[in-house]
Amino acid sequence: MKKRDAFEEDIVAAYEKGELKSVPPSKAQLKRYQEAAEATFIKDRRVNIRLSSPDLMDIQARAMEEGIPYQTLIASVLHKFVSGRLVEKPSRLTSRTGRKRVAG
């Protein structure tokens, strides 16, 4: 297990002192969670794909950003794409190529 940094130590200390409280998700967050669950609810087929390491790392980072497993993110993106509901939203992460994203 990796050593915790100062920020993580502060969080653990606050938790142990009972200073943290649970906050219910907003309606927007709840809707996002429900959509992700619906998109991946029925898993009756398996698909194996090959991805470049950088792409997989970006997917995993975006999934962490969203607070969901990366496999769930991939399934959700594919579901939204095939259902015509995919809307691109720029990541808060810096693109690994350093290029600006161009809307098109």
Q: pLDDT tens digits, residue range 48-69?
A: 999 999 999 999 999 999 889 9
**Window from 14-18, 41-45, 77-81 with minimum mean pLDDT:** 41-45
pTM given for the model? 0.47
Distance in angstroms (rounded) separating the CA atoms of residues 18 and 76? 36
Q: Is residue 49 part of a domain?
A: yes
Distance in angstroms (rounded) separating the CA atoms of residues 85 and 16? 42
Identify the DSSP state of 94.
P
Q: Please state the separation of Cα 20 from the chain's center in Å.
A: 23
**Window from 34-38, 69-73, 95-99 with minimum mean pLDDT:** 95-99
Q: Is residue 71 part of a domain?
A: yes
| Domain assignment of residue 43, given as a range | 25-82
Q: Is residue 50 part of a domain?
A: yes
Q: pLDDT tens digits, residue range 11-35?
A: 999 999 999 888 888 999 999 888 8
Residues 14, 22: contact at Cβ < 8 Å?
no
Mean pLDDT of 64-86: 89
Q: What is the pLDDT of residue 22?
A: 83
Distance in angstroms (rounded) separating the CA atoms of residues 70 and 86? 17
Q: Is residue 36 part of a domain?
A: yes
Average pLDDT, the chain: 83
Q: How many domains does the chain have?
A: 1
Q: Take residue 20 and report the two structure tokens written for it.
A: 């943290």
Length of the chain: 104
